[in-house]
Amino acid sequence: MGSISLQSAEALIRNVAHSLPNQPLAEMERNWYAVSTLPRNERAVERFLDANQIESFLPTCESIRQWKNRQRVKIVEALFPTYVFAKIHRSEQASVLRSPGVRRIIGNHKGPIPLRSAEVEFLRSGIYRERIEPFKDLVIGQRVRIVSGPLRSLEGTLVRKKGGLRFVLSLELINQNAAIEVAAEELEPIAA
């Protein structure tokens, strides 16, 4: 067996250390997944995941409801009912699935499919807070991309509502949509 000098070993260690990324390997492999929950269990699932050190996110929106006694109440509700987002490593999927209130992690026959980080980060940013609302029925329209501002590069469908333009962000994996008001000059059409 050949011997190696101390200087050669130190140089080798320095080269390997410089080539490694700054983040731990487990952190690099974490992706955002859509987690399907039982109805009205989104908050409980998010709290349970957080208590177990699993990064999760529940996008919400505010709406004003009027009760039978004509009292108006501001309600904070899930933007995508029965869905929570979790940033997990493949090895953590089993612990998410064992969480109370969780039905499944969204995917196909091959397994769970990660969401695009840009879509989840847009929802987490809070920029939308005042202007977003659930959008139940996707209207067939032109596919567009936002070209300026903090939402730059997001793609969606253009629809009209109450005389204004709305950009509809579609999370196709979970078949859910959210509409946000945008100016026409912030959009460009996407070639088919």
The mean pLDDT value for 120-137 works out to 71
pLDDT the model gives residue 134? 67
Please give the angle made by the CA atoms of 37, 133 and 104, to the nearest 5 degrees.
15
Which of 33, 150, 169 has the alpha carbon at shortest distance from 95? 33
Shared domain for 133 and 109, answered yes or no, is no
Instruction: Flag whether 122 is in a domain.
Output: no
Whether residues 24 and 96 share a domain: the answer is yes
Domain that holds residue 106: 1-115
Cβ proximity of 180 and 169 under 8 Å: yes
Q: Is the pTM of this model over 0.85?
A: no
Give per-residue pLDDT as tens, 89-108. Answer: 989 999 999 999 999 999 99
Angle at alpha carbon of residue 90, lines to 96 and 22, rounded to 5°: 115
Which burial class, exposed, middle or buried, applies to 151 when counting CB atoms under 10 A from its CB (0-12, 13-18, 19+)?
Answer: buried
Q: Which of 8-12, 71-75, 92-96, 171-175 has the highest mean pLDDT?
A: 92-96
Q: Which of 24-28, 86-90, 186-190 has the lowest mean pLDDT?
A: 24-28
Tens-digit pLDDT profile for residues 74-84: 888 898 899 99
User: Contact at 8 Å (CB) between 77 and 61?
Assistant: yes
Neighbour tally for 173: CB within 10 Å: 18
pLDDT at 178: 82
Residues 36 and 109 in one domain: yes
The CATH number of the domain where 182 resides is what?
2.30.30
Residue 179 burial by Cβ neighbours in a 10 Å radius (0-12, 13-18, 19+): buried
